[in-house]
Amino acid sequence: MAKLDSKIPNGPISEKWTSHKGKINLVSPANKRLIDVIVVGTGLAGASASATLAELGYNVKTFCFQDSPRRAHSIAAQGGINAAKNYQGDGDSTYRLFYDTIKGGDYRSREANVHRLAEVSTNIIDQCVAQGVPFARDYGGLLDNRSFGGVLVSRTFYAKGQTGQQLLLGAYSAMNRQIGRGKIKMYNRHEMMDIVVIEGKARGIITRNLVNGKIERHGAHAVVIASGGYGNVFFLSTNAMGSNVSAGWKIHKKGAYFANPCFTQIHPTCIPVSGDHQSKLTLMSESLRNDGRIWVPKNLKDVNLIREGKLKPTQIDEKDRDYYLERRYPAFGNLVPRDVASRAAKERCDAGFGVNKTGEAVYLDFASAITRYGEEQVHVKGLDSSDKNLVKKLGKEVVKAKYGNLFQMYEKIVDQNPYETPMMIYPAVHYTMGGIWVDYNLMTTIPGCYAIGEANFSDHGANRLGASALMQGLADGYFVLPYTIGDYLSDDIRTGPIDIQHPEFEKAEKEVIAQIDAFLNNSGKNSVDFYHKKLGKIMWDKCGMSRNEKGLKKAIKEIQDLREDFYKNINVPGNANEFNEQLAKAGRVADFLELGELFAKDALERTESCGGHFREESQTPEGEALRDDKKFTFVSAWEFKGAPSKAKLHKEDLKYEEIEVKTRSYK
Amino acid sequence: MNLTLKVWRQANSESKGKMETYQIADVSPDMSFLEMMDVLNEQLMTQGIDPIAFDHDCREGICGMCSMFINGEAHGPDRLVTTCQLHMRKFNNGDTITIEPFRAKAFPVIKDLTVDRSAFDRVQQAGGFVSVNTSGNTQDANAIPIDKHDADKAFDAATCIGCGACVATCKNASAMLFVSAKVSQYSLLPQGKVEATERVMNMVKQMDEEGFGNCTNTGACEVECPKGISLENIARMNREYLYASLKG
């Protein structure tokens, strides 16, 4: 295939998007009615794209595997969404958001895409407020902001700890309006099984109705993949149980390059694993680091007493605590970016300072925030500031108003009251910066097939800053794709409806059915979860927070062996024509077993450390990630060649014209 | 701990269902209820029994997909949680636990504990939105200040996760709490007020067509709601509906 063409428009960075929009081809309103677009996934990206495409006049068919589009996992995003509104007057600007995002991504994202993201960020907030999204407000009735990791301004808009829910329900409502008007045809409980490519163009998909098992063909002039990330390749992650890579992996196997698969975000503040039964991990929002202070005991003696249950964290004196983020990174303190905070937690736990039974937990403490807010409140209300109980009570009320639902969630899961004792947290897999390679128009290397939101790779480089995922999902769906897709579809106005009797549909459908039959006819003895858990363990141990050559080579071999065993010994009960969760899961895990290998291969190839990708061989004397800009300032885009081991690497060189590439420092 | 589980088994929407009894041993109190179900399903599969189908996705109490009726209560005995956040420490060794699907005429069973709640989507499609295009060409987000109390109340109503516990709990299988939460969210905000009349009429009409029952103000829905959606919303919707009806 030809050289990767990112199609970045010419001109100064701040004018690229405007001039590009002004020059690309459009489809007339009358012709839009003749064009069908398929959207797979209904998270922020998929729902907002579906709504906008339908509103523009296209015929949209949207698919989700859940029972309703409102369930998509964007719903679980907690902390907030960034926008360069500068409502706080603290010096924010489009440029600064652009700069922070590039730096946060450790100089491995595409400048032009990130600048566009920063530009449209303000529109998102305007749009959402107009849709009735109830963001947090102050007593003057204006929108409130908070701060997130890796930045020095307050640009994050939020709705308590449920920002993702409120934004997704906003996009869902916009979709509902179009479903009601008949412009979107919604297919709940449908899974995309494959893409159909005819004469080099994406022309439809094959789906399985998860209720009755029916295999269906759907034709369209363009296919948009908005199926989210692949964090569940680790089995345990903060993703939803059903989150999967299959839509992305299927298009990869049909020609879409997969970019930077090893760029994974390990989020520093999640509830630690409690046992082997664990099915998923729960995030505690990064917003908590606005007020929570992270620490472990300074002395190993205290650590041991805590593990034995003989000492409580609240009994440890200030002088015996190690607020290690404040110690190591005085400028950003507890609000360093996620990759940095995660590695710092691992470093302390590896050194033996972990505070739970497994030794894999650190404290996130709100005591000083409660006191600080309490003192402010007694001052505002003119009450007795020497009354410690009153200060604490009022302080707790403030903290509850800010993070109430998160504290409740923590208490339900861990059975401890975080207002009284520090939370215990540990890093967990949360987000994947890597994904399907797309050009500036968000088109993959299959003409007519697009990837948006977490499913693509373009905006977050090697590490995503907090509150940027919601921004990217909605930017892609509301404001970018609906424009850029027209440029491609303008050639399709005479095509007419796609013929789903075409041999390519026939062929794709046959392959799908063959895989289902193979699973059901196999008489193995191991369940799907058995394999998924094994894969997850390989990934976490060898491709997790820190990676090295030996481990990665071993991981590749182990995944290959596991995959072979999977096809020999998998047991999938039931039949094809019913609601069969095990069957659906088997197909997803089969794809994870291939992706996992490519992931490890990509991590092996990139011998530098950058962002969330930490190669032990490449670190500074202080243990910080050490980039190798000379060799690795590029996007790894992998082409499928029959098996993950044969994948061919293409490089998209990253050019930094606006921003000087520097060592990322948060000290 | 060791438990006896009585679980509703139903092959599909057409077939007749019945309760089946299963034993499960060595349940950890730190497991979530759904993790206990995962263990049970692994056990059933080794015995050659079809695993129990149940809806679930985020497992952190926000997507609204999990939906079991446990010991006669939607989402089980704990308050302000969904089934996925209910933990086994709420049960005792030797307990018998009865697990059924959410039952309502408007929520037909798909299989075992999985029900079809698409009626909720259709009610939202009838009017659960602000009719604003998504072009981004709206006024500045801070152009209209909104009273913090109203904004907070709108937010509280908007936290509904659409799980259907209110319907499953109500003896009339009424969806008033669910519908009123959406009606309230928008009627409390200036952006939503513009089409408040049409919205409440259309949503209530669709709610009735879906076969949900009437509200008799027992308040059971509020008690079982995992997100603590207040009955106040039903009162607000009734006012909105009356006003809309008089306005014609």
Residues of chain B with pLDDT under 50: none
Domains contained in chain B, CATH given:
3-111 (3.10.20.30), 118-247 (1.10.1060.10)
SS3 A637: strand
ipTM, two decimals, is 0.98
Q: Is A338 a catalytic residue?
A: yes
Q: Provide CB contacts within 8 A for A568, sequence distance 6+.
A: A522, A524
> What percent of chain A shows pLDDT beyond 90?
95
Q: Residues A604-629: what's their mean pLDDT? A: 96
- A354 vs A424: CA distance, rounded Å: 10
Q: Is the pLDDT of residue A481 over 90?
A: yes
Distance from CA of B135 to the nearest CA of A (A): 7
Q: Is the pLDDT of residue A1 over 50?
A: no
- The answer to whether B141 contacts A574, with C-beta atoms less than 8 Å apart, is no
Mean pLDDT of chain A: 96
The domain defined by A501-628 folds into: Methane Monooxygenase Hydroxylase; Chain G, domain 1 (1.20.58)
| Residues A162-209 pLDDT 10s | 999 999 999 999 999 999 999 999 999 999 999 999 999 999 999 999
Q: Is the pLDDT of residue A306 over 80?
A: yes
Catalytic pick among A71, A338, A606, A627: A338
What pLDDT does B70 receive?
A: 98
Scan residues 185-214 of B and list those with Cβ closer than 8 Å to A. 185-186, 189, 191-192
Per-residue pLDDT band for A43 (boundaries 50, 70, 90) equals very high
Nearest to A58 by CA among A232, A297, A223: A223
What pLDDT does A129 receive?
A: 97
Strand ranges (DSSP E) for A323-436? 362-365, 423-432, 435-436
What pLDDT does A405 receive?
A: 86
Distance from CA of B35 to the nearest CA of A (A): 6
What pLDDT does A308 receive?
A: 94
- The answer to whether A579 contacts B186, with C-beta atoms less than 8 Å apart, is no
Task: Give the chain A residue nearest B81 (alpha carbons).
Answer: A412
Per-residue pLDDT band for A32 (boundaries 50, 70, 90) equals very high
- What value, to the nearest 5°, has the Cα angle with vertex A453 and ends A511 and A62? 55
| Residues A251-276 pLDDT 10s | 999 999 999 999 999 999 999 998 89
Give a three-class secondary structure readout of chain B. CCEEEEEEECCCCCCCCEEEEEEECCCCCCCEHHHHHHHHHHHHHHCCCCCCCCCCCCCCCCCCCCCEEECCEECCCCCCCCHHHCEHHHCCCCCEEEEEECCCCCCCEEECCEECCHHHHHHHHCCCCCCCCCCCCCCCCCCCCCCHHHHHHHHHHHCCCCCCHHHHHCCCCECHHHHHHHHHHHHCCHHHHCCHHHHHHHHHHHHHHCCCECCCCCCHHHHHCCCCCCCHHHHHHHHHHHHHHHHC
Domain boundaries, chain A: 272-428, 501-628
The pTM assigned to this predicted structure is 0.97
Count Cβ–Cβ pairs < 8 Å, chain A vs chain B. 217
Cα A353 to Cα A299, A358, B54, B215, distances in angstroms? 8, 11, 40, 56
Alpha helices in A308-352 (DSSP H): 324-328, 338-350
| Residues A500-512 pLDDT 10s | 999 999 999 999 9
Is residue B66 less than 8 Å (CB to CB) from chain A?
A: no
CA atoms within 13 A on the CB side of A53: 32
Q: Residues A545-556: what's their mean pLDDT? A: 97
Is residue A177 less than 8 Å (CB to CB) from chain B?
A: yes
Is residue B34 less than 8 Å (CB to CB) from chain A?
A: yes
Is residue A55 less than 8 Å (CB to CB) from chain B?
A: yes
Task: Give the chain B residue nearest A401 (alpha carbons).
Answer: B152
Task: Give the chain B residue nearest A173 (alpha carbons).
Answer: B129
What pLDDT does A148 receive?
A: 87
Residues of A in contact with B56 (CB under 8 A): 241
| Residues A92-133 pLDDT 10s | 999 999 999 999 999 999 999 999 999 999 999 999 999 999
Nearest to A196 by CA among A184, A207, A185: A207
Q: What residues form DSSP beta bridges with A425?
A: A362
Contact A627, A656 (CB under 8 A): no
- The answer to whether B141 contacts A129, with C-beta atoms less than 8 Å apart, is yes
- The answer to whether A131 contacts B78, with C-beta atoms less than 8 Å apart, is no
Give B200 or A667, the one with higher predicted confidence. B200
| Residues A387-406 pLDDT 10s | 999 999 999 999 998 888 89
> What percent of chain A shows pLDDT beyond 70?
100
Cβ neighbour number for residue B81 with a 10 Å cutoff: 22
Cβ neighbour number for residue A248 with a 10 Å cutoff: 29
Residues of A in contact with B142 (CB under 8 A): 87, 142-143
